[in-house]
Amino acid sequence: MRWVDWYGDGSLWVLDIALACCTLEFDAAAMRPELVDGRDTAVGALPALRDRSQVAVVISGTVTDRLAPAVAAIVDGCEQQVGRHPAVISFGACASSGGPYWDSYAVTKGVDQLLPVDVYVPGCPPPPEALSAVLDQIVGRIPS
């Protein structure tokens, strides 16, 4: 798994479950120059977290029925590995409801069919600033 130290100071660690197109917008949000400079690149395993560090999981893209168990297992695994409940962000229309593929025979109609979601971000895809704003709110950098 690839954890991103979002602000470079260990205050927020973000995992992207990269399923489809929306993950490109995640990358655009994560790689903004003002964030990347002076920050470690993404790490495979989380370091020991400080008390006030937060953890977020972003589901970016269409959840197919075939992959649904794996997505659920990843989020469960995060919670166990990290020792705290991650904020779960449903990023984009597909992750929120199945989006344009809501009627497909092979698509789960929203990741909330599998696990509880904290924030739904609309868009197809949402622009990178939508994700940045949601993460800023989660850590309290801007009031919600």
Partner 1 sequence: MTEALPEEWLAAAEALRADGFEYFDWLGCVDEIGRRDCFRIVLVIRNLGQGAEPMMLSCLLPRDHPQIDSVQGVFAGAAWHEREAAELFGVDFVGGDHRRLLLSPGFEGTPLRKDEVLAARTGMSWPGAKEPGESEIAPNRRRMVPPGVPDPALWGNRDPSEPSADPAAVAESAVGGRVRRRRI
Partner 2 sequence: MSSSSHRWIRLIEPACTSCMICARECPSWCISIDSHTEPVEGLPPGARNRTRNVLDRFAIDWSLCMYCGICVAECPYDALEWAGDLTEPGAGRESLVEEMVQPRSDPGLGVQ
- Binding stretches for partner 2 (CB under 8 A): 93, 96-100, 102, 110, 112, 118-124, 126-127, 129-130, 133-134
Q: What are phi and psi of 115, to 5 degrees?
A: -160, 155
Q: Which residues lie near partner 1 (CB under 8 A)? A: 65-66, 102-106, 109
Q: Which of the choices partner 1, partner 2, none does residue 105 contact, using the CB cut-off of 5 to 8 A by kind?
A: partner 1
Nearest to 54 by CA among 127, 126, 3, 91: 3
Q: By C-beta, is 1 or 114 nearer to partner 2?
A: 114
Pairwise CA distance, residues 18 & 34, whole Å: 23
Shortest separation between residue 100's beta carbon and partner 1, angstroms = 12
Contacted by 79, from partner 1, partner 2, none: CB < 5 to 8 Å by type: none
Cβ count near 41 (within 10 Å): 9
CB atoms inside a 10 Å sphere around CB 101: 18
Residue 110 CB, nearest approach to partner 1 (Å) = 12
Of the pair 2, 66, the CB lying nearest partner 1 is at 66
Residue recorded with tokens 């409801």: 97
